Amino acid sequence: MPSRVGTSIDPIINELRTGRTRELLLLLQDRPVPEVVDPLNIRAELSSAYEQSGDDYVIHGTDTSTVTTESEDQNGFGPEKTGLKIVPSKDLKSVSATLFPGTDSGLTAYILDSSDSVIASKSFSGDSFTIEEPLSAGTSYYVVVDKNGSSYSYSAYGSATSYPYESKYVDITTAYNGDFSPPEYSNKVYSIKSITATKAPDLSGKITGRFSAPTAAPADFSQWEAVQARGVSPGGSTATEAVEFDILDSSDAAVNSARIPASEMADSAFKFRDREASVDASADGQSDFVIPTTGSGGHYGIPILSVVSVSKNGSPVPPENWEFDGAETVSVDTSAVSITSGDSVTISYDLDVFDATLQPRAYLNRADSSEDSPSISHFRYEYVI
């Protein structure tokens, strides 16, 4: 008597060996090739930089501003923390500082909050330092240095200060000297000559230029079955379509003439085989039914390879009673099939996408550059063997 266990798993083994569908999960590990200079609508005054984060590529809007105080004309010596008070006008990713030439090297830099509590610190040598620490717009911070309790030499300016010293993303509002109580002091500038603020990448988002499908066709490849975008986020966009897609062939030409919205590819797989479009009859005796270009089941301008089946109100129409014109119209023989206004005719069809190097390309849109960017993580491919 054959093993019931062996018999029960035979269909699974057969599917693994000969099943008609395989899938590829392509994370964005390949180099993206942006189609446009500004895929996320980054404002013109910002520069763009790409950074890999795990399996994603991230585009950052990076911008800085520098505020410079005065030239030193005095010297000081002691163990106290000295520096400046800053107020960012934008959320910051980091701050950098350059010391007056007469200030010792081998110091420790700090960012303190308004209560003198240490938020971040960094030991450094030389006359400059950078501290990577998120700082909030409109909040006061102290950027200061010391020598871990030991006395050190520092330079200062004490003639006619001009607080506040202002720049695009950060202002210097007064000096700081830990030997005073309170430590703020507006008649001098201590230790730090200039501050450079790097704005936080509030316009960042995952890149959606063009991402490669398999560079070599799978050995058993016959035709693409479906493609689905994963990890799609609309961000804060109020655009009509925050995320839209094109399908490229191996020559980098879009095979679709109408942009595919996220609702057709992100919520469920965009099927290339057995794609179904439903068309309601608008009159009694209607014979011609056009596969829609857009919307649910639309072909979006991708060439139609063949029509697989036709049904009316859920019941199959015999193949001899309908004809496909090779473009987008199915004609029903109304002498054999009765069509009444309101009848639903469903057309199942295959798109002509045999190209193994087929690749989707996503476009991100924002109605306002201050909004959060839409994003996309990766594409999932299914193919037929």
Mean pLDDT value of segment 5-18: 49
| Angle at 217 (CA atoms; ends 211, 222), nearest 5 degrees | 115
pLDDT at 258 over 80: yes
pLDDT at 246: 86
Single out the residue of 374, 378, 385, 356 nearest to residue 40, CA to CA.
Answer: 374
pLDDT at 6 over 80: no
pLDDT at 174: 96
Contacts 24+ apart (CB under 8 A), 179-187: 179/78, 179/80, 183/81, 183/116, 183/142, 184/85, 186/161, 187/158, 187/161
d(CA 262, CA 265) in angstroms, rounded, equals 5
Q: What are phi and psi of 194, to 5 degrees?
A: -150, 155
7 CB-contact burial (10 Å; exposed 0-12 / middle 13-18 / buried 19+): exposed
Single out the residue of 123, 365, 117 nearest to residue 238, CA to CA.
Answer: 365
Q: Which residue has the higher pLDDT, 246 or 362?
A: 246
| Angle at 159 (CA atoms; ends 66, 73), nearest 5 degrees | 75
Helix (H, G, I), strand (E, B) or coil at 211: coil
Mean pLDDT value of segment 294-298: 94
- The position carrying tokens 């961000």 is 235
Mean pLDDT value of segment 103-120: 95
Q: What is the pLDDT of residues 74-85, one digit of tens each?
A: 999 999 999 999
Pairing type for strands 64-68 and 192-199 reads antiparallel
Helix (H, G, I), strand (E, B) or coil at 348: strand
Minimum mean pLDDT among 15-19, 294-298, 317-321: which range? 15-19
Single out the residue of 297, 298, 301, 349 nearest to residue 325, CA to CA.
Answer: 349
The 3 state secondary structure assigned to 98-126 is EECCCCCCCEEEEEECCCCCEEEEEEECC
331 CB-contact burial (10 Å; exposed 0-12 / middle 13-18 / buried 19+): middle
d(CA 228, CA 239) in angstroms, rounded, equals 21
- The residue length of the chain stands at 385
Mean pLDDT value of segment 101-123: 94
Is residue 302 within 8 A of residue 249, CB to CB? The reply is no
Q: How far is residue 190 from each of residues 7, 26, 105, 199, 242, measured CA to CA in Å?
A: 83, 54, 15, 24, 49
pLDDT at 144: 97
Q: What is the pLDDT of residues 17-68, one digit of tens each?
A: 444 444 443 333 333 323 222 333 333 333 344 444 444 444 455 678 899 9
Tokens standing for residue 169: 């993303």
pLDDT at 28: 33
The secondary structure element, H or E, covering residue 15 is helix 4-18
